[in-house]
Homo-oligomer: A and B are copies of this chain.
Amino acid sequence: MSLRHALLGLLAERAQSGYDLTKKFELSMKRYAWHASHSHIYPELKRMAAEGLVEVVDEGLRGRRTYAITGSGRTELRNWMLSPPTNAVVRNEDALRLFLLSSLDRPDAEHLLGRIIDTAEREVAHMREVVADVEGIGDADGPPLFGHFAAEFGLRYHLMELDWARWALGRLTSPAR
């Protein structure tokens, strides 16, 4: 159940509403870290509030409820962050397609790799912007910003994917060895 730790981590940065959290998942988190929809996030926030890990600190317009992390929430988050991953859950639909590439005949495989390359190129361009944004905001003397490391990881991930797909396509069209 890592959703709760994802939420605690985001709330550790700043207090915010379920709606804000949902958007963060949609915009960045779900790309390479964790996927979640609002219908999962809202009930989870309620449960966490009942358990004292978070608390409602403000009720604004349109029923907006701002949640903040509590002391016990911070303890829980730190414990999870530092605990060795026992059997870390990994699910990646795209990586699964890569894994099963050889089940396709050559034309199909080439087509799929072509699409992967296109997508990765777009992702790389996007992540370059994100990284530049984060660098721009940065306060040179302060601690590294939240999201800075994550953005860099995302950029490197997609660059790696792009390199790999190009290499694989090369192998496919002219099996060198």
Describe A's contact surface by its main secondary structure: helix
Q: When the two chains form the complex, which single residue of B31, B103, B168, B175 contacts A152, counting CB atoms closer than 8 Å?
A: B168
Question: How many A residues face the partner with a CB closer than 8 A?
Answer: 69
Question: A35 — which chain B residues lie within 8 A by C-beta?
Answer: 87, 89-91
Q: Contacts A6-B100, A160-B160: A91 and B90 contacting too (C-beta < 8 A)?
A: yes
**Docked-complex contact B102 and A94, CB < 8 angstroms:** no
Interface set of A (CB-CB < 8 Å, partner B): 2, 5-6, 9-10, 12-13, 29-35, 77-78, 81-82, 84-85, 87-104, 106, 108, 111-112, 115, 135, 138, 140-141, 143-150, 152-153, 156-157, 159-160, 163-164, 167-168, 171-172, 175, 177
